[in-house]
Amino acid sequence: MTYKEIKRDPEISAFLKKGNENLGVLGYTDHSAVHCQLVAERAAYILKTFGHSEHDMELAKIAGYMHDIGNAINRTHHAEYGALLTNDILRRTDMPLEDRVTVVSAIGNHDESTGGAKDPVSAALIIADKTDVRRNRVRNKEMAAFDIHDRVNYAVTDTKLKVNREKGTISLNLQIDESICTMYEYFEIFLGRMMMCRKAAEILGARFKLTVNGGKIL
């Protein structure tokens, strides 16, 4: 089972679509296939930059694309639900058991409330997912109705993720419009996720750096 086949699989597409619809009703930002593809390809890019194999990159792309299917069941413990769904889907394919376990483990550990990086694939997935902060993830277009998650994402006017093997750094650089979201609100939502990225970077032998409006935060 390859990443290209995963993207075309109707069962996976149906779970992602339903999960994103469920989160839309709850007021969450976009968690569609667009987000999942970005996470998949960013995770592979991180591993490639740090010299990991094409095989690990492929597993990271599969885990990245499937990581949010658990939202179709429930947002709470969606990582664990997603891991179980992923195992059920992939066990019917020709994917080797060891690879399936790696993908399932990465998905089951990607949420900051219960998880954490355990290996390079899970580390790349976490960093790729948690650094997807951008204005166009906000679904609600009425600013007066924004909740804190909407404000935090909408306030980001520019985002850049820089991965530097020579320096051993993974840097997220954000520009935030503080008239939309205060720095306090940003950290209320994202501090736990950024700390998770820092620990994930350590698994890759790197340091995670966060810069907001030109000032170093982490």
Structural domains of the chain, with CATH: 3-216 (1.10.3210)
31: its two tokens = 């968690």
Over the stretch 171-209, which tens digit does the pLDDT of each residue have?
A: 999 999 999 988 888 888 888 999 999 999 999 999 999
Closest-CA residue to 129 (of 70, 84, 184): 70
Query: DSSP readout, 11-47?
Result: HHHHHHHHHHHHHHHHT----SHHHHHHHHHHHHHHH
28 or 36, which is more confident? 36
Burial 110-119 (b: 16+ CB within 10 A, else e): bbbeebebbe
Over the stretch 116-149, which tens digit does the pLDDT of each residue have?
A: 999 999 999 999 999 999 898 998 778 877 888 8
Over the stretch 41-98, which tens digit does the pLDDT of each residue have?
A: 999 999 999 999 999 999 999 999 999 999 999 999 999 999 999 999 999 999 999 9
The share of the chain scoring above pLDDT 70, in percent, equals 100
Q: How many CB atoms within 10 Å of residue 167? A: 12
Query: CA 59 → CA 5, 93, 98, 129, 171, distances in Å?
Result: 13, 14, 11, 15, 23
Chain centroid to Cα 3, Å, comes to 16
